[in-house]
Structure 1
Amino acid sequence: MKHVVVIFDENVSFDHYFGTYPKAANTDGTTFTPAKDTPKNIDTLAHAGLLEKNPNLYTPKRLAPSQAMTCDQNHSYGPEQYAANGGKADKFVENTEVSKCTGLFGEPGLVMDYYDGNTVTGLWNYAQHYALSDRSFSSGYGPSSPGAVELVSGQTHGIVSTDPKSSTEDPKQTDKPDPATVSSPDAQGVGTMINDPDPAFDDCSDKDHTSGSALGRFKGRNIGDLLNAKDVSWGWFQGGFRPSTPWGGKQGSYAKCSGTTHPNVGGASSVDYSPHHAPFQYYKSTANPHHLPPKNVSEIGHSGQANHNYDLTDFDAALKTGHLPSVSFLKAAEYQDGHAGYSDPVDEQHFLVEQINAIQKSPQWKDTAVVVAYDDSDGWYDHAYAKPTNGSRDTTTGSNGKATDSPACQSAPRPAGGYQDRCGPGPRQPLLVISPYSKANKVDHTPTEQTSITRFIEDNWHTGRIGDASFDARANSLSGLFDFRHPNNTQVLLKQDGSVDSVHRSGHYTTSALAASAPIADALTPHRLAGADGSAASGDSVLLPVGIAAGALVFGTAATVLVLRRRRTA
C-alpha cells in the first residue's frame, strides 16, 4: 500500500447516519436497495430494538432529506459523558440536545433523530461495496479540536495558552492560563485541550486576528513529525486554506481567510476555512502560519515553505499530476464538512463523492486506501458505549453545573501519564475503508478509535510510536477492514446524489500485490493490546461473538471491556 488518504469529516454519530442500515424508508430522497448478501448482524438502532422502545425522553425519528439543515447539538466534553450515563445512554435530551435555533430545522427530541440511505446514500453505497466499522469510537469525549488532535497525535495533553498578539511565538505563561484553552494546568500552565481554541501558529486564527481570544499551542510530537523523520511524504489539505488576502511579508502582518465563503444547500454562507479544524497548526514543527502555498506541484508532500499544510486545490493538483503524497489528510470547507448548524449531510456527500471519484479515477487508486472518519459525534444520540479504559478525575464545575468528569470517567482506570481530561474512548462514529484491498460489503466489529488511524499510518511506514501516553499505544488495528489476499478489485463511481453511477471490477489487482504492500500487511497482523500506560497487556486481544444483548468486547487491555447493552425499555 503506497497511499493512505484520510477524509476527516465533522460531527456525526454512527446511529445518526447508520441507525437503520441497510434498510431505508424509500419514501423520499434517493432510492436505496441493499444487496441480498448485506450483513445482518450490525449494531444499529433497528437491530437493537431501540426505534420504538427507548429509555430516553423521546424515541428516535427519521429525518428526511428536506430536513438536512438542523440545529448543532451540544458536543462538549462533560455533557457527552453525562448523556452516555455510564452505558445506559438514556440522558441525551437532558445533556446534549439543542432543539431550537434560527433558520434551521429543530424539534423536541431532535438529538435522537437519524438519517437513512435516502439522504446519506453515498455513504451507504460505499458501505455496500467496501468496509464499514460499527465499533469505532472517538479516542475521547468532546468537540472538534480534541478529535482532530487525537487523529494526528493521540494526545490532547500538552497544550499551553498563548497571547493572540504574538501567536507565532512561545507564550508567556501565567499561573492561571485561559480555562477555555487549557484544562487542568500544571504549575507551568501546561494542561489538556477539551474545548475549541484556535491554533497559535495560524494567521487566520481569532477571525483573522480581529478578536482577542487566547490561542493554543501544543508541545510534543505528532504523526507529521514521525513521517518527516522517516522521509515519508505527507500533507494536510483543507478547504479555504489558500488565504483570501495573502501574507504581506512583514513581521506583525497576517494573511486573512475570511474573504473566501460558500453557501450550503440552505443558502447560508460560511467562511470556508476553520482554524480549529487544522490540527497541525497547533504545533510549531508542522505549522504553516502564513498559509504559504507550495512553490510547485512536485513540492507537495515534501519540505518547503508550505510545511505540509495546503489548500484542497493542491491535493487535486497532486493527484492529477501523479504527485500524491504517501499520507494525505483531507478536510472539507466548512459548508461541506457535515457539521450541523452550517453544513449538512447533502453538502457533505457532494464533497465525499467528488473527492473519492477523483481518487478512484486516478492511477494511484490501485494502491490506495481511503479512510472516511469523523472528529466527534456532535452530541447526536448513539446507543453503543465504550467503557472508559482511560479515566479522568476533574471535579471542577463544568458549563452544565456538574463536575467536568462524570462518575463513569472518575471511576475508570487511572489516567495514562497522570494527564486529566482525557477520558475515553468516547462516542461511536462511522468509519469506512474504501480501497481495492478493503473487504467488500462487510461490517467489522473490532473496537477501534480515531487513533487507530494514527497507528495504521505508523505501522505501514514503521515510524514508531508518538509516546508520552499517546493513545496510539492502546489503539487496535484497522486490519478487520482489509483483505490483502483477496482484493475486491472494484472501482465504484457515484453520482452526486449518492446513487451508483458505475461499478468496474478489474483483474489488474492480484494477490502478488501483498508482497508490494509488505509494511502494511505486516502491520495488520494481530498484536497484543497495550495497557493504559503504554505497557504490554497481559493477553492477546479477543473478539467475542457480536450480540446486541448485554455482552462485552475487549477494548484496550485484556482487563477492560467495551460494553454494548440492550437498553431498558421506556
Structure 2
Amino acid sequence: AHGTPRANTLQTAGLLSSNPNSALPQRLSSSQALTCDQNHGYSAEQKAADGGRNDLYMQNTDVETCTPGLFTEPGLVMDYYDRNTVTGLWNYAQHYAMSDNSYSTTFGPSTPGAINLISGQTHGIHAVTPTGTPTTDSYVVASPDASGVGTVVNDPDPYFDDCSNSNATRSNNLAVASGKNVGDLLNAKGVTWGWFQGGFKPTTPYAGPGTKAVCGATSTNIGGGTSLDYSPHHSPFEYYASTSNPHHLAPSSVAAIGHTDQANHNYDMTDFDAALAAGNLPAVSFLKAPAYQDGHAAYSDPIDEQHFLVKEINALQRSPEWSSTAVVVAYDDSDGWYDHQSAVITNGSNDPARDAAICTSAAATVGVAGGYADRCGPGTRQPLLVISPFSKTNYVDHTQTDQASILSFVETNWGTGRIGDFSADAEAGSLDGLFDFHRPVGRQVLLNTDGSVASVKVTTPRHD
C-alpha cells in the first residue's frame, strides 16, 4: 500500500522467484488457511537455518502429509500468507508499529517460547511422574545434571495442572520449573497481573482431595475441526509452584482479578472480558486464545486467530483503559515455516545430540550463558506488533528483539528488577523503538471480523 514503510520480507529480499531452497515460496490464499503442521523442533529449526543460510527447510521442517481436509502441497513449508489472509494484522501494522527483526528467544516449539516470555529461562526444569515422583525423561529434560535438572526444548505438560496429560487420561511424565518468573517479580512489587487463557475454566470443577478438575471445553474452527480449548503446555505459569493454579479455581470475585487469591493469577479468557467490562484490568495481562484461535497450524489458522485478535482489541479500544494500554502481539514459536532471516545468535550451545553448527559455532564465540546447554538463540523470526496510543504510526522497527524483550519491558516499566540466573531478559533487545512516549497519538482503529477497517478515530492528535 502507498506509504507502507520498507520491511525485510521475501519480496524485498528477492527470494520469491530465486531461492536457495529446493522449492520456491508460494502464496497461500484464505481458502488454504488450514494447513499441515510443520516440524518446529529445537534441532530441526537449527538445521533448517544452516548456519544462517536458511536453505535447508525442505530437508528439515517440511511436512506435507497430515490429517485429510488440511491443505497441503509440495514445498508447503516454504509458503506464506499475505494481507489478503492476515488482513487484521496488516491493518494493525498500517496504523501502529511492528518489528521485522523479532525472534523466539531460543529455537524450538511452544513451551520454551511461553516460558521465555515469562522468565527468559528454559533451564531449571526437572521431570516428575504424574504423581509427582522425580524421574528421568529425555523428552521432558534435555542435558540434565546429576540432580536431573536441565533444559526444556520440547512440549511436556506442566505438573501443577489437573488438566495436563489430556485431562489425566495419559501417563506421560510432566515438567516442573524452578527459579523465578515475572509473576513472582510483580507479586513482590504489589503489581496486579494475570494470565488469561481460553478453556482454562473447567467443565468439571475440582471437588477436593482425590479429584481433579477437567478442562473439557471444545470449539470448532472455520474448517469444521474441533479441538479442546485449553492446552496445558501453552500455560507457562503452571510449570512453577509459586504461580500455578493447579485445580483451575475461579477468582473469588471480578474485583479480585489480578490480585492473589485462590485463582493465583491464572484465569479463563471470560475472566479477562469480565474484568475489562468492570474497569478492573490488572496492570499486566497475558492473553492466550483458545486453541482453535491461537493460529497454530493443523487445528487453528489465521482466520480464526484474527477473530480472537479483533474481538479483544476492539473491546480494549472501546474501553476507558485504552488511553493507558499497550498491546503486544507476539508468538510462542514459528511452527518451523520458512524464513530467510536469521538472528544474530547471542547465546550458543554445544549439545552434540541436539545442536547444529549455527549454535555450536556461537558457543565458541559468544559463549553458553551460565553453562546451561540447549538454550541456543535467538531462534526463528516471528511477527511482533505494538498496538497502543503510544506506539509509532505505520512504522517498522528493525531492532533485534525476542520473546524475552517483552519480559524486559514489563520489568523495566514496573521496576521489578531482573530474573537473574542468566535469564535472557538481561540481554534482550528493547521494544522502545516501537513507541513514542513523548508525542502519543490517541488512535482508535476498530476492525471488522474480516480484518478490514471499520473506523479510525484520533482523539489526541500529535502536534509537531
Give the structure-1-normalised TM-score.
0.80
Match of 2:29 among 58, 61, 64: 64
TM alignment of 1:108-187, pairs within 5 A:
108-166=74-132, 171-172=133-134, 174=135, 177-187=136-146
The gaps in structure 2 that reach 5 residues or longer are none
SS at match of 1:164: coil
Structure 2 letter corresponding to 1:98? V
CA distance in 2, matches of 1:134, 1:486: 23
1:256 aligns with 2:185: no
1:429 aligns with 2:371: no
Cα offset for 1:488? Answer: 2.1
1:546 maps to which residue? none
2:418 maps to which residue? 465
What is the Cα-based RMSD across aligned positions, in Å? 1.1
1:336 maps to which residue? 293
Structure 1 letter corresponding to 2:113? G
Cα offset for 1:408? Answer: 1.7
The gaps in structure 1 that reach 5 residues or longer are 1-33, 397-403, 512-570
CA distance in 2, matches of 1:510, 1:302: 39
Cα offset for 1:508? Answer: 8.2
CA distance in 2, matches of 1:510, 1:233: 34
Cα offset for 1:210? Answer: 1.2
1:83 maps to which residue? 48
Cα offset for 1:252? Answer: 2.4
CA distance in 2, matches of 1:354, 1:154: 29
2:171 maps to which residue? 212
Q: Contact 2:144/2:150 (CA < 8 Å) preserved in 1?
A: yes
CA distance in 2, matches of 1:79, 1:507: 48
1:507 maps to which residue? 460
Cα offset for 1:100? Answer: 1.6
SS at match of 2:315: helix
Cα offset for 1:510? Answer: 9.0
Q: Contact 2:441/2:460 (CA < 8 Å) preserved in 1?
A: no
Cα offset for 1:389? Answer: 1.4
SS at match of 2:441: coil
1:315 aligns with 2:268: no
TM alignment of 1:369-408, pairs within 5 A:
369-396=326-353, 404-408=354-358
2:228 maps to which residue? 271
1:105 maps to which residue? 71
Sequence identity (%): 63
1:486 aligns with 2:452: no
CA distance in 1, matches of 2:84, 2:287: 25
2:429 maps to which residue? 476
CA distance in 1, matches of 2:290, 2:108: 21
CA distance in 2, matches of 1:318, 1:410: 47
Residues 454-512 of structure 1 deviation map (CA, whole Å, 9 limit, x = unaligned):
0000000000000000000101110000001221221000000000000001038999x
CA distance in 2, matches of 1:208, 1:508: 51
Q: Contact 1:141/1:426 (CA < 8 Å) preserved in 2?
A: yes
- Which 10-residue stretch deviates more, 500-509 or 332-341? 500-509
**Change in 2 beyond 3 A, CA 1:68/1:107:** same
- Which 10-residue stretch deviates more, 101-110 or 195-204? 101-110
**Change in 2 beyond 3 A, CA 1:92/1:361:** same
SS at match of 2:27: coil
CA distance in 2, matches of 1:348, 1:408: 32
Cα offset for 1:386? Answer: 1.1
CA distance in 1, matches of 2:217, 2:291: 11
SS at match of 2:321: helix
Match of 2:399 among 426, 430, 446: 446
1:411 maps to which residue? 361
Cα offset for 1:388? Answer: 1.6
Q: Contact 1:487/1:510 (CA < 8 Å) preserved in 2?
A: no
Q: Contact 2:119/2:419 (CA < 8 Å) preserved in 1?
A: yes
2:149 maps to which residue? 190
SS at match of 1:57: coil
CA distance in 1, matches of 2:12, 2:199: 40
CA distance in 2, matches of 1:44, 1:507: 33
Give the structure-2-normalised TM-score.
0.98
